[in-house]
Chain A
Amino acid sequence: MASPSEAAAGSDGEAQAVFRGITDDVSRVALNPTPKWWWPAFGVSNLMLLCLVVSLYHLFTTGIGVWGNNNIQGWAWDITNFVFWIGIGHAGTLISAVLYLFRQDWRTSINRSAEAMTIFAVAAAGIFPIIHTGRPWFAWWMIPHPNDMGMWPQFRSPLMWDVFAISTYATTSILFWYMGMVPDLATLRDRAKERWKQVGYGLLALGWRGSARQWHRYERAYLILAALSTPLVLSVHSVVSFDFATSQNPGWHTTIFPPYFVAGAIFSGFAMVATLLVPLRHLCGLKHIIKESHIEAMCKIMIATGLMVGGAYGIEIFIAWYSGNAGEWFTFRNRVLGEYSWAYFAMVSCNVLVPQFFWIRKCRTNPWIVVGLCILINVGMWFERFVIIATSLARQAMPGMWGYFSPTRWDVLTFIGSFGLFFTLFLLFARFLPVIAMAEVKAVSPEAHAGKDHH
């Protein structure tokens, strides 16, 4: 009884109980009857989604003129919303891929829902560049294919780079998310009581049986996908920033854009992850898996990325002055002090000042303060994209190209509708799919080494 193996055997049942506890707590969310809070939340999201359907119908049948866009403000809320949503997606990939490569084990509690958030944010983002073309039913012309016009896409345009970057990003995110979910779908398959759930989860689980030979290849594939997603996620927002940076427009034509956009994307993405997960862990009873320390870690990342974004704002203004370029300097003075100064200061206060509260411990540990600050950060990050787009276009070289953008009700409805799409998809995910990567949480728990003789 005194041998080491016996000591380990004494904890055997405890290890299995820990694993079973994780399985129970996470699969309960998907397999138990629908909780009361879910239907009102789903109803509100569906109403918002209806706004998107109605405003898109009106847009398609009438034209871009239903928005406040005009010849001067050719891009406005449409592209602002696109960059806003695609940026939010980046945190999911960062959590699932970059933190995986850095062996940050705390990521396992949030990576599944963050990846889901990425995919739904990319879905919401993908709408805008397509509908802003005016003839979205020809969007498939962007895909290179032989056609009766004998035309090919123009690959030297950053807008085509965007098509490839975003579609690669969406494909990779979905495959990575799904692959990570297969062992957990198998868990749901094996625990579901109803036949239709067994069949549904069973088809999605592809017959996963946790074989060691399969785990071996699976883990290697997971590592490769993480290693591929990391350069991909950096390239996606860099390419998005090229849409602006490769133009000749003062306010857009700057080399700082790629890193500045990537930092801002991660910043806004973490804010959105925290905004979603604080209520989720509360409502689904997952506080012991998504721990306070994990939320704190996200807050610290937001301090870092918020400072990077704030530094970029300063550098932009400094370079505009230091370059001696009159047009550039005028654009930035106008951005800060002109008609849009209210938007500029909304951006600076939300993105630079608000994250400074995270230096205070209480603001990191009280989840509801975290949510409040994160919502402000996302407001600020939306304004950042609006400020870049609207202020740079509002005062171009000729006085005849001066204007001011005012949104119409259809701008507002479309934006609300994109949130409806995002929340609807996220609620469906939170209801029917494994919201936490059970296999990964088990694998990084101390109990995963139970019974090993070399400890």
Chain B
Amino acid sequence: MTTPANDDETPGAADAPPPDRPGHADGPDGGRGDDGDDGRGTGNGNGHGSDEELHGLLAEFETPGALIAAARKVRNAGHTEFDCYSPFPVHGIDPAMGIKATRLPIVVFLGGLTGLVLGTLMQWWMNAYDWPWNVAGKPTWSIPANVPISYETTILLSVLTTFFGMWAANKLPQVWHPFFRLDRFARVTDDGFFLGVEAGDKRFDLEQTRQLLVAAGATHIEECYVDARPEARTMPRWIMAAMAVLTMVALIPVALVFKARATKSPDPHWHVFSDMDYQPKLKSDQPFADFADGRANRGELPGTVARGQLKADDAYYRGIAGGQWLTGLPAQVEVSEATLARGKQRYDIYCAPCHGFDGAGMGIVPARVEALGGAWPARNLVERGSAVITMPNGQLYNTISNGYNTMMGYASQMPVADRWAVVLYVRALQRSQNAAESELPAGSQVR
């Protein structure tokens, strides 16, 4: 070939029809006749009635090379509405047909960019903005740790764009095509090479186009007819109805999710497996028949002391000295303004609600009972001559620790040092409210 370009209109040697088999290109009648006797005829193969219209001409070629040459010829004759069909991509046919490079790569690039931006924004919004997630005090937004997921979302969106973009650009799925009516066309997925010119082409003329295809070396030419009635080309009504129903059914779960998002329920979460709620384990203070004492709790073993639990100092931990209530104070308790301030602060939290800030037994709880018409005064801690005033310090400490009558013990709320601080503060309340005038500091007496 010395012609500068394959697209040149000059017919090359390969473009000439094979002289030894001109009859291969069937006339209109021959083409239709062929189909009737191949045993697979469905009755509408290529024969057409009055309600059918011409869709186009389908020409068959033997080799990829012949198809390329024919495509060039058809294109050079000014046809635009034609296409080649082959079992595999024939390389070299794109320039022959004048197919422009697809813009799919640009679309995919935009899709990938969207994936990158969305993936990154998603991570930022979810982990740094909507719920700043503290991981070992690291910054909530640090790019390196977010790169892998942005990388994957970029690829994912690119792949989805490629896949769906390609099918959309190819106008597929399209389950039916007029050429599918021609039995011969089934070979397009096997070993057949076809060129179809559509009747809608502005240069289409049944006879001239047929001659063109013959000249291009077609081994077989067929006319393809389609049903002219518009209703024959629409989807059957029951399929449309089924699709509509399926679409509505598919919306039900979505609607349920939206309803659940928008409403509140007093019911607890519904769990498929309730083994988190009901675990096969013993909880404290529950019965358990298999232990000799019938209790789930296992106490300390006799003769053992847990670390830090010896508490051998009776005076400090129990307020007892020599079998009697301690009357003084343990050595660990320092009488100071700081201890008294601590005692007042603890007293105001734990004791004042019943005993009152002044210790007279009318805190907000008894006051409330009285307001409701009842009578339930707490013990007056400061009443002159009462047992609380004469009680040894050790016994007062013990009462705070373990409770008395309806009063609960406070050992679990107050550490030992705080309980002694409260003892000191109660003593200060008693002293301050039972002092004789002569005992007041100089300058404070009533004149």
A interface list, Cβ under 8 A from B: 3-6, 8-9, 12-13, 15-17, 19-20, 23, 60-61, 63, 135, 137, 144, 146, 148, 150-156, 158, 160-161, 164-165, 167-168, 171-172, 175-176, 179, 183, 186-187, 189-191, 202-203, 206-221, 224-225, 228, 231-232, 235, 239, 242, 438-440, 442-443, 448-454
Contact = CB atoms under 8 A, between A and B. Distances in A.
A215 B303 CA distance: 88
Contact of B108 (A164, A224, A232, A451): A224
A164 B86 contact: no
B16 interface: yes
Nearest to A23: B190
A160 B135 CA distance: 14
Given A135-B273, A164-B156, 19 more contacts: A8-B14, A16-B191, A156-B133, A161-B149, A161-B152, A168-B159, A175-B163, A187-B87, A206-B174, A207-B173, A210-B85, A217-B170, A225-B159, A235-B155, A439-B88, A448-B91, A452-B64, A452-B92, A453-B12
Nearest to B71: A212
Nearest to B105: A224
B148 A165 contact: yes
Contact of B149 (A20, A155, A172): A155
Interface stretch (B41-49, B93-101, B248-256, B352-360): B93-101
Interface residues of B, number: 83
Interface string B140-161: 0010011011011101101110
A150 to B, nearest CB: 7
Contacts of A16: 62-63, 191-192
B175 A206 contact: yes
A257 to B, nearest CB: 14
Contacts of A448: 64, 88, 90-91
B83 interface: yes
Nearest to B174: A207
Contact of B123 (A12, A60, A155, A211): A155
B338 interface: no
Contacts of B66: 12, 451
Contacts of A225: 159, 162-163
| Interface-central residue, A151, A187, A213, by most chain B CB under 10 Å | A213
A449 B191 contact: no
B166 interface: yes
Contacts, number: 253
29 contacts: A8-B65, A16-B63, A63-B275, A144-B122, A155-B123, A158-B148, A164-B149, A164-B156, A165-B148, A168-B156, A187-B87, A187-B189, A190-B188, A206-B174, A208-B189, A209-B85, A212-B85, A212-B93, A212-B97, A213-B83, A213-B99, A216-B99, A218-B166, A220-B166, A224-B104, A232-B152, A448-B91, A453-B13, A453-B69
B146 A156 contact: yes
B86 to A, nearest CB: 5
A97 to B, nearest CB: 11
B65 A228 contact: no
B133 A154 contact: yes
Nearest to B275: A63
A443 B18 contact: no
Contact of A452 (B68, B173, B191, B273): B68
Nearest to A9: B18
Interface string B168-192: 0110111111011000011111111
B102 interface: yes
A258 B165 CA distance: 33
Contacts of B93: 212
Contact of B65 (A3, A19, A443, A453): A453
